[in-house]
Structure 1
Amino acid sequence: MVGQGGSASTEASIYDDAAGGKGVVRIAAVAALGGFLFGYDSAVINGAVSAVAKEFDADAASLGFAVASALLGAAAGALAAGRIADHVGRLAVMRIAAVLFVVSAIGAGLAPSLWVLVVFRVIGGLGVGMASVIAPAYIAEISPARIRGRLASLQQLAIVTGIFISLLVDFLFARAAGGSDQPFWFGLDAWQWMFLAMAVPAVLYGLLSLTIPESPRFLISKHKITAATAILSKLLGETDIELKIARIRETMERETEPSWHDLKGPSGRVAGIVWVGLLLSMFQQFVGINVIFYYSNILWEAVGFQESQAFVITVIGATINILTTLIAIATVDRFGRKPLLIIGSIGMTITLATMAFVFGTAPVVDGTPVLEGAQGPIALVAANLFVVAFGMSWGPVTWVLLGEMFPNRMRAAALSVAAGGQWVSNWIITVTFPGLKDVSLALAYGLYATFALLSLFFVARFIRETKGKALEDMDADVPHRQDAARR
């Protein structure tokens, strides 16, 4: 272990370089850039999927696996990120993720076969999974409680911005080349440039991670008290910083190295809060939000829209997602986490049920529903209102809660489990949608509507409000230890 002096001067100087009037906002924004790459990597396949199918003559099953392959890597990356972050630090995980994103961008863009593309998509998925864990954990750990919800929501804003930029880049490349499968620069097709473009923000993410300080709570866990004190005092502007340090140390003191055993409660079983976090993550995906972003182009083409129209519809949906995330940022610290989730669940249930009804009542021609008259506009409005309901609630608030709801001693590990479950759930939804679509779009959206309704009851019963609470107040073991001390 490092003594109390640690690397105080280094950490403090990094903070001084990064700070300013809005230093903590800039630091959080840099961490959230991982979310931008998370969104970009997740959605880039949308504009390329038709061209990939033609280029490699992929059948439906192979194509579905290729689209979902990044999610398998994301699940593995999420599960690994917490352990790595607890051993070598939050910043190290960000830098590893940046390298993985660069490798994935180049490898996927130059892939000579479908299965090589899958391999590099999995590598990119590892980066996505790591970013999905480390950004909310780091942001929660450096944020003052009064604005923690807003700063943590930057993660979702970055994700949806990454999705938007990815879809916009896909659209621009496809339009400039005359189609996603047409040749563009240097003999490479437009779809290849869609992947290659991700290398630019990935390199930027890696470089910017060199300009922000390590999480003070991680430093305290490694007994670098002087460095942590310097960073906390500037981040929080508190005069009673010694008391803050003492409270953090109380919730993070340990005699052993961090491990999966940290997920256990006083009873020796997996703590209930871990299960709540896992289910929260799963519900976020089981409502089918990523079907909109992974498959929206081929979905709208399947019901009669042209490729160019489908691209425009998809970009509009991504724009709406960004705008509604801004609503969440403005309200999450005012109204709280739980009310926003409840409102979102109600909105998602209604809009998904509407889509299921429209597709279920549309005439079917050659196995595909054909939207006639008002059915097309109704389906488009319902899809975009679904994005609104998700974007102002479950999108950002899930990440806010995952970053702050767990006790200090288990935060990284518990977030790994929750994020890993989220990516597995995302994979299940993504890989099953092509088959469900072929059977019935009404069935697919009916299932998603059912999960949205169940999410309402889950939030009402199990989610506890965390607005304005210090991270140390989330530690379920503090009262337990205090009672034991009194006895």
Structure 2
Amino acid sequence: MQESGEAKANMGFVAAIVAVATIGGFMFGYDSGVINGTQKGLEAAFDLGKVGIGINVGAILVGSSVGAFGAGRLADRIGRRGVMKLAALLFLVSALLAGAAGSSVLFILARIIGGLGVGAASVISPVYIAEVVPASVRGRLSSVQQVMIISGLTGAFLVNYVLANYAGGSTAELWGGFPAWRWMFWLQAIPAAVYFVALLFIPESPRYLVARGDEAGAAQVLTRLFDASVAQSMVADIRASLAADHHRPQLSDLVDKATGRIRPLVWTGIGLAVFQQLVGINVVFYYGATLWQAVGFSEAYALQTNILSGVVSIAGCLAALMLVDRLGRKPLLLIGSAGMTVTLGTVAWAFSTAVAGADGGLSLPGHNSVIALFAANAYVVFFNMSWGPIMWVMLGEMFPNQIRGSGLAVSGFAQWMANAAISVSFPALVVSPGLAVTYGGYTLAAAASFFFVRAKVRETNGVALEDMQG
């Protein structure tokens, strides 16, 4: 977009829009993190073993992969805001149903419904933000999504800890005769309702409006974001970017008509999405309490450790917020990959020293528990100052207008499938081959991500969305 136009941007209105859109990120984080403190309750209520826990925890990922794939395409039909409103309703239904579930089957259904909302919010909030904010601050404001995701995770960890501590344990009775773990889900209904109501007060993406032929509506939104003269030139730019291949966006647009092959940019998006999960970050978010209890921490201390991880995650996100438009996307990804390789390797080494106690449980000798905790939190910082927010920033902006919805659909689907593979497999991997080998695998993935970024990723910092090539 024109730099002169960006200088006149109504940043107060832009900030309000971003604040509302990123409530979806908060819901994404809360819905993903709430499961962390409820696993003892699920085991007791539904008589679950390790495999059963993996399935119940991983159920959300089934919905998330479908939601991410469907949301990108649906957003081209009913709009970005329409998909976010649908996600808010799914979050609300999931929260109420998961807390009330009387069987594992019903709980899995509730989590799949929530997953549909998570998947939709994960891909649409970043693209909506990218399509309404000035290019000069796009990375910074798009990164707010990750700050809100981590805030949601940390909020879930904090709620879990407070409720479990107040009740005397996650399985102990709390209000209304119901155990604390059920209230951990029910409290999610409050931000879900706030999200839906807030969405009624923000505009639709002007790029979506132009794509469907409503240039007057797009100009009206852009006038509120910038001013009338700049709005008209922006509508013309958007129209021109669509004119070369002007038809309703469709999945087949991802195939290069000249070669008959999937566009290389699509493979880059898929690679970014998959590597973000192969480094194992959601093991920390989904299984943090279980992970630290496996090496000798008490339930209360493990839940406190989750909160610590959430706080340092926010610190990492804030660092990304300050650096993404200064250093650029690619340098931050490279720094993150290198940092995660070192810290994950340290965690793997620390877990390799674990010894069995008289009760059959594991513990880390000497100062190795401190080393593991420090390295794990350093890893979380490196992830959240790089791959956490930057992957979503790039997916929201790297695709040309014509294929943005479809590119997000495919990349988001790949991201959630990788998430499912890592998350569902973790409980079994803890047993065999063990934590050390499992974290060794995450270390190798982090190292491979460095070379992938160096070879395949192109910088998008400061490039107008209408100038994206692919």
TM-score bin, normalised by smaller chain: over 0.9
Aligned residue in 2 for 1:169: 159
Aligned residue in 2 for 1:260: 251
Aligned residue in 2 for 1:116: 106
The superposition leaves residues 248-284 of structure 1 with CA deviations (integer Å, 9 ceiling, x where unpaired) of: 1122245543221121224232111111001101000
The superposition leaves residues 326-363 of structure 1 with CA deviations (integer Å, 9 ceiling, x where unpaired) of: 11001100110011111100110000001111111332
- Match of 2:413, as an amino acid? G
TM-score, normalised to structure 1, is 0.92
Partner of 1:464: helix, strand, or coil?
A: coil
Aligned residue in 2 for 1:40: 30
CA contact 2:54–2:423 (8 Å) conserved in 1 = yes
Distance 1:277 1:205 in 2: 28
Partner of 1:64: helix, strand, or coil?
A: helix
**Relative to 1, partners in 2 of residues 1:126 and 1:61: Cα closer, same or farther, differing over 3 Å?**
same
Distance 1:421 1:99 in 2: 24
- Identity over aligned pairs, percent: 47
- Match of 1:332, as an amino acid? V
The superposition leaves residues 286-327 of structure 1 with CA deviations (integer Å, 9 ceiling, x where unpaired) of: 000010111110111111111111111110001110111011
Q: Give 1:25-174 correspondences, 5 Å limit.
A: 25-174=15-164
Matched, 1:271 2:263: yes
CA contact 2:211–2:248 (8 Å) conserved in 1 = no
- Match of 2:40, as an amino acid? S
Show structure 2 runs of 5+ residues with no match. 1-8
**Relative to 1, partners in 2 of residues 1:441 and 1:392: Cα closer, same or farther, differing over 3 Å?**
same
Distance 1:237 1:301 in 2: 56
Partner of 1:22: helix, strand, or coil?
A: helix
For residue 367 of structure 1, report the CA deviation from its aligned partner: 6.7
| Alignment partner of 2:325 out of 325, 329, 333 | 333
For residue 84 of structure 1, report the CA deviation from its aligned partner: 1.1
Aligned residue in 2 for 1:323: 315
For residue 229 of structure 1, report the CA deviation from its aligned partner: 1.4
| Alignment partner of 1:437 out of 389, 410, 430 | 430
**Relative to 1, partners in 2 of residues 1:250 and 1:264: Cα closer, same or farther, differing over 3 Å?**
farther
CA contact 2:249–2:405 (8 Å) conserved in 1 = no
| Alignment partner of 1:397 out of 390, 394, 402 | 390
CA contact 1:144–1:236 (8 Å) conserved in 2 = no
Distance 1:280 1:336 in 2: 16
**Relative to 1, partners in 2 of residues 1:421 and 1:368: Cα closer, same or farther, differing over 3 Å?**
farther
Distance 1:331 1:251 in 2: 29
Partner of 2:200: helix, strand, or coil?
A: helix
| Alignment partner of 2:350 out of 349, 358, 361 | 358
For residue 57 of structure 1, report the CA deviation from its aligned partner: 1.0
Distance 1:295 1:238 in 2: 51
Distance 2:139 2:247 in 1: 32
Distance 2:280 2:423 in 1: 8
The superposition leaves residues 171-218 of structure 1 with CA deviations (integer Å, 9 ceiling, x where unpaired) of: 111011100001110111100000001100001110000000000000
- Match of 1:318, as an amino acid? G
CA contact 2:330–2:458 (8 Å) conserved in 1 = yes
* Equivalent residues, number: 458
For residue 457 of structure 1, report the CA deviation from its aligned partner: 0.2
Partner of 1:211: helix, strand, or coil?
A: coil
* Aligned-pair Cα RMSD in Å: 1.4
Distance 1:412 1:257 in 2: 11
TM-score, normalised to structure 2, is 0.95
CA contact 2:10–2:224 (8 Å) conserved in 1 = no
Aligned residue in 2 for 1:291: 283
Aligned residue in 1 for 2:365: 372
Q: Give 1:138-217 correspondences, 5 Å limit.
A: 138-217=128-207
- Match of 2:382, as an amino acid? A
CA contact 1:181–1:191 (8 Å) conserved in 2 = yes
Aligned residue in 1 for 2:336: 344
CA contact 1:360–1:441 (8 Å) conserved in 2 = yes
Partner of 2:116: helix, strand, or coil?
A: helix
Partner of 1:28: helix, strand, or coil?
A: helix
Show structure 1 runs of 5+ residues with no match. 1-18, 477-487
| Alignment partner of 1:450 out of 433, 444, 455 | 444
Q: Give 1:402-413 correspondences, 5 Å limit.
A: 402-413=395-406
